[in-house]
Amino acid sequence: TERIKSMFYHAYNSYLDNAFPYDELRPLTCDGQDTWGSFSLTLIDALDTLLVLGNQTEFQRVASILQDTVDFDIDVNASVFETNIRVVGGLLSAHLLAGRAGMELEPGWPCSGPLLRMAAEAARRLIPAFQTPTGMPYGTVNLLHGVSPTETPVTCTAGVGTFILEFATLSRLTGDPTFEDVARRALTALWKTRSDIGLVGNHIDVLSKKWVAQDAGIGAGVDSYFEYLVKGAILLQDEELLNMFHAYDAAIQNYTRFDDWYLWVQMHKGTVSMPIFQSLEAFWPGLQSLLGNLDSAVRTFQNYYSVWRQFGGLPEFYSIPQGYTVDKREGYPLRPELIESAMYLFRATGDHTYLQLGLDALESIEKVSRTPCGYASVKDLRDHQLDNRMESFFLAETIKYLYLLFDPTHFLHGGGMEGDGSWEEGGEGGQCVLGAGGFIFNTEAHPLDPAALYCCSRHSKERQELRDALLSLSHPKKKAGSQSKPADERAGEPPQSQSESIALKPGEKKTLPTLSCPVQPFSARLSVLGQVFSDNS
Ligand code: DMJ
């Protein structure tokens, strides 16, 4: 783990010295550039990794720099997907980890706080993208002006279905249902577009619901849609999402799986369109192990690891029949997916093969990618040419998963293995017991705490019940929460919707009821090796 820490700081310090406040470090020219927006993306994405590595003081320093400097009120066309997973996800995790990081917490945390408000602000700027007839979002939005009238309506599948983790977290922490509602509407619309044989394609027109690219597979353009159905089911204890995944999985296993590889097929006919493996697909064994499908996960991982050994990294595309890279897709931009799967599989099996992959990854990244001021993407794994880019996911994901692979008792693994002082309490009067059910990583490796969601929405519900009870006492004949009164008469009454009940406005003092959250039963329900809904609840 010490070597991994020193890799992190080599890249991180170099970003701060040479690239901040730009989004990314350029590791060959030792300067910075904006890539996905203009929000110091690498710093937001790397923030929770600082705490993962145990650096509370730097976490605190950076959290306050970001609060002072990052502005989302900017005339920038941003990817709705990337802004969500990296910026909203990064800020949400930082908010949820702020207690462990020793930050001063405002009353009401984790149901309120400055980083949560920043995450909500970033997400609010994405909402105009969802205002389509189908509810499926555009891929790009201008953070200041909304969707450009000339914007293409074609969005990739992952760009439609990768919001529920962050948006439901926002809704359940703040009490504003808007975020979760738009994410669910997009998921429902996407689900209805699947083909007769149960598959989805790669790109869809969000206005007409026509599939524009009809390749079905588990990699680029689709990957995190499936990931979010599974992780959304776990985080939200939502069986409907899990059922959707199982239906897709049946079709995926039937039509795309050959010898534990996953190919690309035509979504209506099931005929093979591309017999290739993509490096983005390497998250799949990890997802399978989360569902308890260990045998299959292990075999698929072995296939992918053999490709890693052949090239010292995973090429973006690998032709399965030819056993070689695909033209123009020979690069390895320091992606995390195989390491992520190794982390889950090591935890599930204890097999040292997965630590060996970790060591291989560490050695080859050091050997091939290290430059005097960072780590560079590999342009071509055949001759080790480099690109002048270090994507923010290198510090957010690749390093984090590598570290967690070699630290099996880390608090982020949950399971009560971390020893003393493992649980912290939050909320006024200590009503939330956090970290009790492990963490769910978003697709950018930002951990989310199911217990916080549960606790904040429970507070919200309990306060609503209390209000309803008080209301019915003071107006015994009127039904509490009734909408029958004219709006002007309702003014001044306590808020009636969940959305008004939790979100604190800056400076507002929060009063909580004397009700408390019990310790979460999530650990019993969460699946590492078994069923997600084991207790039928
Ligand atoms: C990351 O931004 C996320 O993991 C995303 O789901 C896929 N692409 C990169 C990492 O490869």
pLDDT per residue as tens digits for the range 382-427? 999 999 999 999 999 999 999 999 999 999 998 643 433 334 555 5
pLDDT (tens digit per residue) in 196-216: 999 999 999 999 999 999 999
3-state class of 433 per DSSP?
Answer: strand
509 or 23, greater pLDDT = 23
3-state class of 448 per DSSP?
Answer: strand
23, 45, 316, 462: which one is catalytic?
A: 316
69's tokens: 């400097």
Name the binding residues.
443
Q: Whose CA is nearest to atom 11 of ligand 1?
A: 335
Q: How confident is the model at residue 333 (pLDDT cuts 50, 70, 90)?
A: very high
For residue 283, the ligand 1 atom closest to its alpha carbon is: 4
State phi, psi for 169 to the nearest 5 degrees.
-60, -45
- CA of 86 from ligand 1 middle (Å) equals 9
Angle between helical axes of 284-291 and 294-311 (0-180°, round to 10): 160
Q: How far apart are CA 390 and CA 393, in angstroms?
A: 8
State phi, psi for 200 to the nearest 5 degrees.
-110, 155
Is the pLDDT confidence value at 221 over 90?
yes
Smallest CA-to-CA distance from 13 within 521, 376, 395 is with 395
Whether residue 444 lies in the annotated active site: no
- 173's CB contacts (< 8 A; 6+ apart) are 92, 95, 110, 111, 112, 116, 452, 453, 456, 502
Task: Give the residue-averaged pLDDT of 144-149.
Answer: 97
For residue 337, the ligand 1 atom closest to its alpha carbon is: 11
Give percent of the chain above pLDDT 70: 85
Angle between helical axes of 284-291 and 223-236 (0-180°, round to 10): 30
- Say which amino acid occupies 196: D
Name the binding residues for Ca(2+).
443
Place of tokens 């279905």: 161
- CA of 390 from ligand 1 middle (Å) equals 13
Asked if residue 101 lies in contact with residue 63, where contact means CB atoms within 8 angstroms, the answer is yes
Q: How far apart are CA 430 and CA 413, in angstroms?
A: 23
Whether residue 82 lies in the annotated active site: yes
500's tokens: 């008004």
48, 82, 227, 238: which one is catalytic?
A: 82
Asked if residue 138 lies in contact with residue 149, where contact means CB atoms within 8 angstroms, the answer is no
Task: Give the residue-averaged pLDDT of 19-37.
Answer: 97
Cα distance between the two ends of the chain: 39
3-state class of 509 per DSSP?
Answer: coil
Least confident range from 161-165, 246-250, 509-513: namely 509-513
- CA of 149 from ligand 1 middle (Å) equals 28
Which residue stretches of 327-449 are H helix? Answer: 337-349, 353-364, 393, 399-405
Q: How far apart are CA 257 and CA 166, in angstroms?
A: 30
For residue 279, the ligand 1 atom closest to its alpha carbon is: 11
Q: Diameter of the chain by CA atoms?
A: 80
- CA of 513 from ligand 1 middle (Å) equals 41
Least confident range from 44-58, 364-378, 463-477: namely 463-477
348's tokens: 């599930």
* pLDDT for 477: 54
3-state class of 345 per DSSP?
Answer: helix
For residue 162, the ligand 1 atom closest to its alpha carbon is: 6
- CA of 444 from ligand 1 middle (Å) equals 6
Is the pLDDT confidence value at 486 over 50?
no
47's tokens: 């923030």
Torsion, Cα of 117, 121, 122, 128 (10° steps): 150
Is the pLDDT confidence value at 513 over 80?
no
- CA of 442 from ligand 1 middle (Å) equals 10
DSSP 408: T
Pocket test for ligand 1, best of 79, 280, 316 (most atoms within 8 A of CB): 280
Cis peptide before 137 (omega within 30 of 0): no
- CA of 66 from ligand 1 middle (Å) equals 23
State phi, psi for 272 to the nearest 5 degrees.
-65, 125
Place of tokens 């205002």: 131
* pLDDT for 401: 98
3-state class of 225 per DSSP?
Answer: helix
Angle between helical axes of 353-364 and 294-311 (0-180°, round to 10): 30
Q: How confident is the model at residue 430 (pLDDT cuts 50, 70, 90)?
A: low
Whether residue 489 lies in the annotated active site: no
223, 238, 387, 397: which one is catalytic?
A: 223
- CA of 102 from ligand 1 middle (Å) equals 29
* pLDDT for 435: 86
Q: How far apart are CA 27 and CA 391, in angstroms?
A: 10
Whether residue 223 lies in the annotated active site: yes
State phi, psi for 210 to the nearest 5 degrees.
-85, 135
Q: How far apart are CA 352 and CA 128, in angstroms?
A: 47
* pLDDT for 345: 98
State phi, psi for 427 to the nearest 5 degrees.
80, 155
Ligand 1 binding residues, C-beta < 6 A = 85, 224, 280, 335-337, 393, 397, 443-444
48, 166, 249, 337: which one is catalytic?
A: 337
Angle between helical axes of 164-174 and 114-124 (0-180°, round to 10): 130
Is the pLDDT confidence value at 324 over 70?
yes
Place of tokens 């980890």: 97
256 or 519, greater pLDDT = 256
Is the pLDDT confidence value at 491 over 80?
no
Give percent of the chain above pLDDT 90: 80
* pLDDT for 414: 87
Task: Give the residue-averaged pLDDT of 531-536.
Answer: 28
State phi, psi for 378 to the nearest 5 degrees.
-90, 120
Task: Give the residue-averaged pLDDT of 467-494.
Answer: 52
Least confident range from 295-309, 333-347, 473-487: namely 473-487
The mean of the pLDDT values for the chain is 87
pLDDT (tens digit per residue) in 298-310: 999 999 999 999 9
Is the pLDDT confidence value at 434 over 90?
no
Smallest CA-to-CA distance from 157 within 129, 194, 124 is with 194
* pLDDT for 465: 76
Task: Report CA Rg, the chain.
Answer: 23
Q: How far apart are CA 473 and CA 450, in angstroms?
A: 35
Least confident range from 92-106, 280-294, 316-330, 446-460: namely 446-460
